[in-house]
Amino acid sequence: MTAASRYTYLGPEGTFTEAALRTLPEAATRELVPMISVPAALDAVRSGEAAGALVPIENSVEGGVTATVDELASGRPLMIYREVLLPIAFALLVRPGTTINDIKTVTGHPVAQPQVRGWLERFLPEAHWESAASNADGARLVQEGRFDAAFAGEFAAPTYGLEPLVTDIHDAHNATTRFVLVGRPARPAAPTGADKTSMVLWLRDDHPGALLEVLQEYATCGVNLVRIESRPTGRGIGQYSFSVDCEGHVSDRRVGEALMGLKRLCSDLRFLGSYPRYDQVEPRVVAGTADADFLRASDWLTRCLDGRLNESDGRAGG
DSSP labels, 30-84: SEEEEESSHHHHHHHHHTTS-SEEEEEEEETTTEE-HHHHHHHHSSS--EEEEEE
- x/- contact string, 72-91, with a second copy (CB under 8 A)? -xxxxx-x-----x------
E-strand spans in 155-313?
Answer: 163-169, 176-183, 195-202, 225-232, 240-247, 268-276
One-letter amino acid of 274: S
Query: To 10 degrees, what angle do helices 253-265 and 291-306 make?
Result: 70
Element (H, E) at 158: none
- x/- contact string, 207-236, with a second copy (CB under 8 A)? -xx-xxx-xxx-xx---xxxxxxxxxxxxx
* 4 versus 297: smaller Cβ distance to a second copy: 297
| Contacts to a second copy from residues 35-54, by CB under 8 A | 39
At its nearest, how many Å lie between a second copy and the CB of residue 93?
Answer: 19
* 122 versus 284: smaller Cβ distance to a second copy: 284
* 100 versus 211: smaller Cβ distance to a second copy: 211
297 binds a second copy (CB under 8 A): yes
Q: What is the CA radius of gyration of the chain?
A: 24
Alpha helices for the chain (secondary structure H):
16-21, 38-46, 66-73, 113-123, 135-143, 210-221, 253-265, 291-306
261 binds a second copy (CB under 8 A): yes
CA-CA distances (angstroms) from residue 60 to 93, 187, 188, 283?
A: 23, 30, 26, 21
| Contacts to a second copy from residues 125-154, by CB under 8 A | 129-133
At its nearest, how many Å lie between a second copy and the CB of residue 305?
Answer: 6
* 3 versus 219: smaller Cβ distance to a second copy: 219
Number of residues that bind a second copy (CB under 8 A): 105
8 binds a second copy (CB under 8 A): no
| Contacts to a second copy from residues 143-202, by CB under 8 A | 172-176, 178, 185-188, 200, 202
* 1 versus 305: smaller Cβ distance to a second copy: 305
Q: Are 115 and 175 in contact (CB under 8 A)?
A: yes
Q: How far apart are CA 295 and CA 312, in angstroms?
A: 17
Residue selected from 11, 14, 256, 276 as contacting a second copy according to rule CB under 8 A: 256
| Contacts to a second copy from residues 231-250, by CB under 8 A | 231-241, 250
* 104 versus 117: smaller Cβ distance to a second copy: 117
Peptide bond into 12 cis (omega under 30): yes
